[in-house]
Amino acid sequence: VPPQMGPLAASVILLVVSAVRGFPYTELAQWVDSHQEEYVEALRDWVAVESDSSNVLKRPELHRMMEMVAQKLRQMGGTVELVDVGEQELPDGSTLALPKVVTAQFGNDSNKSTVCVYGHVDVQPAKLEDGWATEPYNLTDINGNLYGRGASDNKAPVLAWIHAVQAYQALDVELPVNVKFIIEGMEETGSNGLDAMIVAQRDTFFSEVDYIIISDCGWLSRRPAITYGTRGNCYFYAEVEGPKKDLHSGVYGGAVVEPMVDLIGIMDTLISPSGKILIPGIREAVAPLSDEEWKMYQDIQFDMDNYKDKIGVSQLMYNNKVDLLAHLWRYPTVSIHGIEGAFSDPGTKTVIPAKVTAKFSIRQVPNMDPAAVKKQVTEYLHSVFAKRKSPNKLKVTMVIGAKPWLADTQHVLYEAGKAAVKRVFQMDPDLIREGGTIPVAKFQDVTGKSIVMLPIGGFDDGLHSQNEKISRYNYIEGTKLFIAYLNEVSQIT
């Protein structure tokens, strides 16, 4: 540096030179490294908001969370809107305002591609007494891991995207593509209101969008991953109703046909001990596993023992990697989640509940159709129940019907992802599918745009579980990945 030139001027010249030369990845990455404490503080502020979408009493927190997101994007000079998506009807018939959906836009150059980043800032419920080692809504840094509810799912990834755009702005590097954001607050409870909004904005907000990017997912191992498929979800309530009120088991036990016994009896017919779904028609609808797919699963980095240790079990349903991954990603399963109306408090209570409702779900895979599954499950449970010749009444309802999603790993968006991972992490990514359900299919069906899932969450982040975290490494390097990815997408012709 010549003596008359200060370090700032020198760095500006360096930047200009490298911008002329091409994409200034190194300078952008250095900017991210030097601002990581700021990024951690931003995450701390967001995690402190108890934006639990399942708890109606927390709804004011959710509204506040959406305002914070909008404010952050406004401060960066984005064109920001808080879109009203209506009201939610509660089981008692009353209504409650849904959190507004935040949309934002940076750049509107018609010569550039436009990407739309989807994310959510609502979280699963969490309480210290659930078994957390730290306060769930107080971001706690332990050995480079940032613990807090929503840290990985999905607050840090949303912030990483925002910080990626901010880095370009801070260094006065032109965004290589136009960037839009759509951030919602009801993802954890089925994205209530989002469907109608996507339909309403198909020809406005989404009209010039070329690609949709979702980062609401995680890696499978220490190797970075790109996700090309998710399972859908059909969620059911099965309600058995008997006497008009709860009864004492000593006084009435043996005289009445108990709803709980009926309910447990029919639930036991959904799936075998070996994991085979017993509902007719479901297994027949599943797309067969191709040789090529089998080979892809074979090459994926996945540690079975680590996986067992992480969830704390001595045995899994399958004892080889390919079978296990296939049953996590591309085969359906039935899970029974709980029984409402049953006695579940500590202690002993000799009660015969008058009405009990089982909650269970079936994860959807190609080529299953939620409407067909609804019919199959309803008819099957009624037929099983009829054989019991019970005087009680059965009612089956499907409350969520989300489709699965599958992308082509040879698509240009995935090629761009592979190149970005290679630049940031100096390795090829694993191409993986996701067992969970994300509203990807909604975007696909309505907008017709190509979608990529680009995760930065770690394989051991504990989403939906106690002690959820994101590592500093994934948060910071993930921000660099998003910076690199925007550049790679701009190269698509």
Question: Which residues carry out catalysis?
Answer: 122, 187
User: How long, in residues, is the chain?
Assistant: 493
**CA–CA separation, 407 vs 410, rounded Å?**
9
Residue 17, token pair as written in the block: 């030179």
The single-letter code of the amino acid at 16 is V
Helical pair 36-47 and 156-170, crossing angle rounded to 10 deg: 140
The neighbouring-strand residues paired with 326 are none
- Asked whether the beta carbons of 144 and 472 are under 8 A apart, the reply is yes
Residue 173 amino acid letter: V
Structure tokens given for 439: 């509203």
| DSSP element (H, E) containing 140 | strand 140-142
The CA–CA distances, whole Å, from 270 to 45, 74, 403 equal: 44, 50, 20
Burial class (CB in 10 A: 0-12, 13-18, 19+), 309: exposed
Structure tokens at 239: 């309600």
Q: Are 207 and 444 in contact (CB under 8 A)?
A: no
